[in-house]
C-alpha cells in the first residue's frame, strides 16, 4: 500500500497558456504543468485526505490560470481532475475521468528578439512574457484564498467571458477596491493608481460614454455605440494594473488587508 502512488491529472486549453514547463515541488506532492496537461503525484494517503488534497490542488492550479489571465486577457478551459492509483507493477486504478471542453483562441502575440552589435540579446519579448506569467501565477496562487482577491479575479474573468457587459465587470474592480479601502482616494494612494488618468478614465468609459458594454445604457437609448478596440484595451490595462497592484500590496503587507 505504501508503494502505491496517487496521480491527479488535468487537461487545459489552450495548451501553450504558460508557454513553458512549470515544475512545483512540495513536501506532499510534485506538480508538473506543460503542453495542455497538469499532473500531480503524491504518496498514498487515506481517501479523505486524498479528496482534500485534490480539491486544494485544483483551486491552487486554477488560481495560476487566473493570474496568467491578468496578463493575456484570454479565456482558458481547465478540466476537473482525473484520479489514478498507480501500483508498483504498473497497474492503474481509475477513479475519476472528466474530459475537458476544447476552445479556440486566436490572436497570438508576435515575438521580437533584439541583439546588440556583438550579437548579445538585449530584448526577448517571449522570454520576458514567460517570466511575467510565472510571477503573476505565483503571486495569485499565494493569495488565492483572500476574498477580495477572489472577487477581483472573478470580475476580471467575467469581463473576458461576458464581452457584452465587459465594462460593467471591469468597473466592478473599482467598486471592490473602493469598498476595501473605504474611499477612492485611499485606494488610489495606497495602490499607486492615478485617480484622474486611470481610475477616472475607467469610470468615464464604464459610466459616462454611451457604450453598449457600459453600465448606464438605458440613459443613452438610441445613442449607443460599441466601444472601440482602443477603448477596450485601455480599460483592460487599467483594470489589470489595479488587480496587480492589490496583489503586490498584499505581498508587501504579508496579506494583512
Cell representation of residue 257:
488587508
Angle CA 82–87–89, to nearest 5: 135
Question: What is the per-residue pLDDT for 118?
Answer: 64
Q: Are residues 92 and 165 in the same domain?
A: no
Domain presence at residue 131: no
Q: Are residues 148 and 244 in the same domain?
A: yes
Domain presence at residue 81: yes
Domain presence at residue 178: yes
Cell representation of residue 97:
475521468
- Residues with Cβ within 8 Å of 99's Cβ and at least 6 positions away in sequence, in order, are 11, 79
Q: Are residues 46 and 147 in the same domain?
A: no
Residues 214 and 226: their CA atoms lie apart, in Å, by 9
For residues 49 and 83, is the Cβ–Cβ distance under 8 A?
Answer: no
Domain presence at residue 79: yes
Domain presence at residue 101: no
Q: Are residues 12 and 67 in the same domain?
A: yes
Per DSSP, the three-state class of 122 is strand
Domain presence at residue 234: yes
Per-residue pLDDT of the chain (257 residues; tens, 9 = 90+): 457 889 999 999 999 999 999 999 988 889 999 999 999 999 888 878 888 889 999 999 999 999 999 999 999 999 999 988 887 776 767 664 444 433 333 344 555 666 666 667 666 677 888 888 999 999 999 999 999 999 999 999 999 999 999 999 999 999 999 999 999 999 999 999 999 999 999 999 999 999 999 988 767 667 889 999 999 999 999 999 999 999 999 999 986 65
Q: Are residues 154 and 231 in the same domain?
A: yes
Q: Which of 96, 118, 151 is the last residue before a domain boundary?
A: 96
Domain total of the chain: 2
Domain with 80 in it: 5-96
Question: What is the per-residue pLDDT for 69?
Answer: 94
Amino acid at each position: 500500500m505504501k508503494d502505491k502512488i496517487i496521480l491527479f491529472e488535468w487537461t487545459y486549453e489552450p495548451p501553450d497558456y504558460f508557454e513553458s514547463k512549470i515544475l512545483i515541488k512540495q513536501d506532499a506532492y510534485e506538480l508538473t504543468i506543460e503542453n495542455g496537461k497538469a499532473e500531480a503525484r503524491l504518496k498514498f494517503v487515506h481517501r479523505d485526505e486524498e479528496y482534500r488534497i485534490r480539491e486544494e490542488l485544483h483551486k491552487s492550479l486554477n488560481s495560476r490560470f487566473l493570474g496568467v489571465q491578468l496578463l493575456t486577457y484570454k479565456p482558458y478551459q481547465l478540466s476537473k481532475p482525473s484520479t489514478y492509483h498507480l501500483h508498483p507493477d504498473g497497474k492503474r486504478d481509475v477513479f475519476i475521468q472528466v474530459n475537458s471542453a476544447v476552445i479556440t483562441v486566436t490572436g497570438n502575440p508576435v515575438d521580437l528578439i533584439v541583439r546588440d552589435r556583438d550579437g548579445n540579446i538585449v530584448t526577448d519579448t517571449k522570454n520576458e512574457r514567460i517570466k511575467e506569467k510565472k510571477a503573476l501565477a505565483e503571486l495569485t496562487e499565494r493569495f488565492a484564498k483572500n476574498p477580495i482577491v477572489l472577487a477581483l479575479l472573478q470580475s476580471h474573468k467575467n469581463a473576458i467571458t461576458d464581452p457584452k457587459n465587459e465594462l460593467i465587470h471591469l468597473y466592478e474592480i473599482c467598486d471592490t477596491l473602493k469598498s476595501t479601502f473605504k474611499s477612492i482616494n485611499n485606494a488610489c494612494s495606497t495602490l499607486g493608481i492615478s485617480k484622474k488618468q486611470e481610475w477616472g478614465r475607467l469610470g468615464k468609459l464604464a459610466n459616462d460614454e454611451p457604450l453598449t458594454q457600459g453600465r448606464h445604457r438605458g440613459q443613452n437609448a438610441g445613442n449607443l455605440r460599441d466601444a472601440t478596440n482602443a477603448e477596450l484595451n485601455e480599460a483592460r490595462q487599467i483594470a489589470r494594473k489595479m488587480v496587480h497592484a492589490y496583489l503586490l500590496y498584499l505581498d508587501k503587507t504579508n496579506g494583512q488587508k
